[in-house]
Amino acid sequence: DARYPSNTSYFVSVKAGARARSGGLLKATRSYAFVTVGNFEAAFYPDNRTYRDPGDSISIKFNVPPDLATILPNLRIEPPISMTRIYSYFRENDNVFSFGAPFAPSSNYTLTIGANTADRYGRTLGQPLVLKFGTEPLDAYLSLNTNSTIGTYDAHRPTRLFASYRNIGELRFTLWPLS
């Protein structure tokens, strides 16, 4: 079961009159050309940005169909994220494997696709594929817990206004008298 050399072009021709195992004859000459697959390779797709939104998925493009059963066992994320929290999918039409994980905002990660990740022919990457990236902070957020955008308050009582916020250092409110 020898393999053909990688990245090699072949031309095969079977002449008319060739006899099939079943005894039938080939009526016309048939010719085929093919190229053997090169080394098994992978790259982060579409880029290897160093900063990402915490909700972004990460994609890896393979040059040939991978053995999907070898990807997750060879995936390492530092700091670790439980594999039960990772979701993934594979696009067969372009050999892209994508996954998402609950990456924390404002954090640094190293993602490694191990050297033993294999293609469907059993060939491995041979060396790890590494991506170092940081996640961006979450966007600033502010919401006043009121019934509408305008409120009226009694000046003879202490005024309390509740707010939900994220990545905001200080909130200042001004109360204006109504006349």
User: Tens digits of per-residue pLDDT, 114-150?
Assistant: 999 999 989 999 999 999 999 999 889 998 888 887 7
pLDDT above 60 (res 173): yes
Q: Which of 6-10, 92-96, 164-168: highest mean pLDDT?
A: 92-96
User: Tens digits of per-residue pLDDT, 63-121?
Assistant: 999 999 999 999 999 999 988 899 999 999 999 999 999 999 999 999 999 999 999 98
- At 2, the pLDDT band (50, 70, 90 cuts) reads low
- Give residues with Cβ within 8 angstroms of 141, minimum separation 6: 164, 165, 166, 167, 168
pTM over cut 0.95: no
| Res 11: pLDDT | 92
User: Tens digits of per-residue pLDDT, 38-59?
Assistant: 788 999 887 767 788 888 889 9
- At 158, the pLDDT band (50, 70, 90 cuts) reads confident
| Res 50: pLDDT | 79
